[in-house]
Structure 1
């Protein structure tokens, strides 16, 4: 799907946003208005359970096609003044000494290294990593994946020359230069206080021989190269256009919705439950990642899990597939059609609950999803109500942790489900705080574009958003009666999780026993 807006004159910025399933290219004017958007779907490869990958050459080809289409739609190819990319964080994209892809890219949904992380937890390595790097490693962290490759694919490991993130690969394809940015560098390998690579980090994970493979670090808005002739031929960009280092997508989304700053928590309800607040001092806790901010002396405190709106999408895909297909064939929005059923479910009492752990959880890789309290008289609306509540409850787990550590008093919410006023109100009631739903189009791409604009001096800094804050969204305030009910349901949600924790691995083992 593509979008075109009437164009004006003046400099334009290109923001590239590469997610887990779609890559997007967005042309913005200097006021932040999206002039054109082009998308390409990105197929995932799952060669075996827990392995989630993508072809790196195919990723660049799809992105180049999206860029070319966005430029054509905008009619402003000659006005692109700077470019920045953002992409899914964590995961792993490797190059060999000839700067060629070394196997497929590994996505942040990959969990092949979960056993390694469990061992590190038992051996105290995770605690040591928390003290040194500001975070405990997780299954899709670069350090965990590199350790898995070292143990299981030694020939591939021996050829590693460059360790990149997804958006760093796109930067290389655009410019031919290798490096990363401050936010991405801290996904595994920087020391939390200095915010730089530290000689003790790689050896902690048994990866000491990879020190030369770590990419140089730049600020997200620092110009690191220019569009090459080869990239220009593929995309329609002019050769020589400046490209900045780019930014981790969690931070890009927060920046794009106006949620990046002290006292604010930025919430992204997408594939992942992403909850982030900024501080001017490093504060570590196992409940959040303390990672680098946009500049030195600033930290992004991110509490996340792969347990958000993907659960809602799964329900619609698997359990409403035929109805959804008919609606879309008729040109109707199935989301709008299904909303009255969910609204009706909120008018009646319900003991139905859902734990949204289809793809992961804050409780470890062994946790799985499930409905509890399901009865024969419950209908599709009741089940979707439970799914939405479960998603909001999972976000609250993370936000409660951040509130204890940093006391943010303002929430900004984005993500596909946030566009539904009913769902936005549920978030406000569950969190017990005012929630502003941003109307920003393509928030992550705009966050990247802000970095590009800052890099060429169009903006004073990446946080110098030219849009008026009061125009960014709609504020939802908690309904006091429903907030009290949600508090009770949330407490039960958490208690059930605690009681199930000893059983989740036994449930997981059933699948192995039947293999």
Structure 2
């Protein structure tokens, strides 16, 4: 018997079949289109995403030699996926990296609302969160909002397509409307965001058995599976990736090197008096997952490859490898998203830039600065959130395939970096979660053990760490100096 784990990312949908012991039996992928109808907009057709999921599951089931006993799904988080009372989308989904609600978030920050909300939710608001999007819709598309019955996330949308039920996993619900200590929706947060009238649009927070429902006959037909098999809604993708990396204690952190660079640490308690930043997710065993998901990730490397390496990212890495860390190298501030940055600080106006360029600056120095700038972001995120007991950092995502970058991250952070075995860690984490929820603890322990074997370690070099540390201090100072110019640049656009 096998399970199919769905991992619905922003640009790629994956469906992976696992045996009960965690062996990967089959895999299918499909690309999805991100629509940008206007500058700073980022949307997807909800129906297209569902069709891509159904198609990949069908292909995986056809490849799999074992009968399918269940489905578990994880997906991109945040954003707003609106449907009417019949479950039909009322507009395109607005994604987590959308920037149209910039002015709303900026006003909330100026009025102290973001700081007040952080004392309840443990998370900082940014333009791609449901609160900002719903507020924008109430001002600019009130007729759309009036037709909507449910404000879902991507995973909630897929769960409704497969089961006909509307629910939110606690991880998806944690930000922005959840009282993180009590793990339930907060009327005070809705009041702060002027969204009290839309409380009934929030799907109920499901836990335990409520996260499972039978596959409907119509969905089963599209997916090529038997109707009635259980469908489980796992936590959203950054949480399941942590599970897939074996990260579940404060001693280990996780960094996803993907569309977002997401640094994740586990904390036994959450300090709500600190400066508002990042995302706090209610985690297992009463713990909290502190996530710092940036708005610019590996897309900066693709951008750099287009400009400096003829579009060849492998060539970009070769250029970077040819350059040693030095005091006089170029610096890169990697804030390329139209929505600015959300972690480890919130600044919708943030913009990227190179520094310390001269006629002597080489393509290799530019390439090295691109990788280094992103590694400095990881270090800053860890310094902002990590527990003192932190010993190692596991890496996942497409960027983790680079030995060069993994070693640089170890040297920049001064922490041992671990690359787990396996390529589909988000799907693997969702599968592991499904085993635990369904009571298959023996199989879950075997899968957890397999995660710990076959890992590749990258040990930091003390000399390199010292050099990077000096450059890191300069990089922070350059960022602080540049931030004073971001408002001016915004006004000129």
Same fold, judged at TM 0.5 (above): yes
Match of 2:204 among 196, 202, 216: 216
Match of 2:305 in 1: 316
**Preserved CA contact (<8 Å) 1:434 1:476:** yes
Q: More deviation in 360-369 or 177-186?
A: 360-369
* CA displacement 1:194-230 (0-9 Å, x = unmatched): 1111222212211111121111112377542111111
Question: What does residue range 283-322 of structure 1 map to in structure 2 within 5 Å?
Answer: 283-284=271-272, 285=274, 286-294=276-284, 297-321=286-310
Give secondary structure in 2 for the equivalent of 1:32: coil
Once the two structures are TM-superposed, the CA of residue 475 in structure 1 deviates from its matched residue by 1.2
Once the two structures are TM-superposed, the CA of residue 241 in structure 1 deviates from its matched residue by 1.1
C-alpha spacing 1:462/1:106, structure 2 compared with 1 (3 Å): farther
Give secondary structure in 2 for the equivalent of 1:47: coil
Count of residues paired in the alignment: 486
Match of 2:81 in 1: 93
Distance in 2 (CA, whole Å) between partners of 1:440 and 1:341 is 27
User: Is 2:123 the counterpart of 1:141?
Assistant: no
Once the two structures are TM-superposed, the CA of residue 167 in structure 1 deviates from its matched residue by 0.8
* CA displacement 1:152-184 (0-9 Å, x = unmatched): 111112222111110111111111111011111
Distance in 2 (CA, whole Å) between partners of 1:191 and 1:373 is 45
Give secondary structure in 2 for the equivalent of 1:38: strand
Match of 1:153 in 2: 141
**Preserved CA contact (<8 Å) 1:350 1:382:** no
* CA displacement 1:58-82 (0-9 Å, x = unmatched): 1101111111111122233xx2222
Distance in 2 (CA, whole Å) between partners of 1:303 and 1:190 is 18
**Preserved CA contact (<8 Å) 2:267 2:289:** yes
Under a length normalisation based on structure 2, what TM-score does the superposition of the two structures give? 0.94
Question: What does residue range 28-177 of structure 1 map to in structure 2 within 5 Å?
Answer: 28-76=18-66, 79-177=67-165
Match of 1:3 in 2: none
Distance in 2 (CA, whole Å) between partners of 1:33 and 1:240 is 24
* CA displacement 1:282-341 (0-9 Å, x = unmatched): 32332332221145x22211122212222112222444346x3xxxxxxxxx62x55433
Once the two structures are TM-superposed, the CA of residue 141 in structure 1 deviates from its matched residue by 1.1
Q: More deviation in 265-274 or 372-381?
A: 372-381
Distance in 1 (CA, whole Å) between partners of 2:211 and 2:446 is 17
Distance in 1 (CA, whole Å) between partners of 2:443 and 2:178 is 24
Match of 2:405 in 1: 423
Match of 1:450 in 2: 432
Match of 1:340 in 2: 318
**Preserved CA contact (<8 Å) 1:12 1:82:** yes
Match of 2:374 among 376, 380, 391: 391
Match of 1:351 in 2: 329
Give secondary structure in 2 for the equivalent of 1:85: strand
**Preserved CA contact (<8 Å) 1:14 1:84:** yes
Distance in 1 (CA, whole Å) between partners of 2:367 and 2:444 is 38
C-alpha spacing 1:133/1:462, structure 2 compared with 1 (3 Å): farther
Give secondary structure in 2 for the equivalent of 1:351: coil
Distance in 1 (CA, whole Å) between partners of 2:29 and 2:11 is 10
**Preserved CA contact (<8 Å) 1:308 1:394:** no
Distance in 2 (CA, whole Å) between partners of 1:468 and 1:99 is 39
Structure 1, unpaired ranges of 5+: 1-10, 325-333
Question: What does residue range 373-412 of structure 1 map to in structure 2 within 5 Å?
Answer: 373-403=356-386, 407-412=389-394
Once the two structures are TM-superposed, the CA of residue 469 in structure 1 deviates from its matched residue by 4.8
Match of 1:27 among 17, 22, 34: 17
Once the two structures are TM-superposed, the CA of residue 50 in structure 1 deviates from its matched residue by 1.1
Distance in 1 (CA, whole Å) between partners of 2:79 and 2:354 is 30
C-alpha spacing 1:172/1:318, structure 2 compared with 1 (3 Å): farther
Once the two structures are TM-superposed, the CA of residue 105 in structure 1 deviates from its matched residue by 0.7
Match of 1:4 in 2: none
Once the two structures are TM-superposed, the CA of residue 111 in structure 1 deviates from its matched residue by 1.1
Under a length normalisation based on structure 1, what TM-score does the superposition of the two structures give? 0.90
**Preserved CA contact (<8 Å) 2:320 2:367:** yes
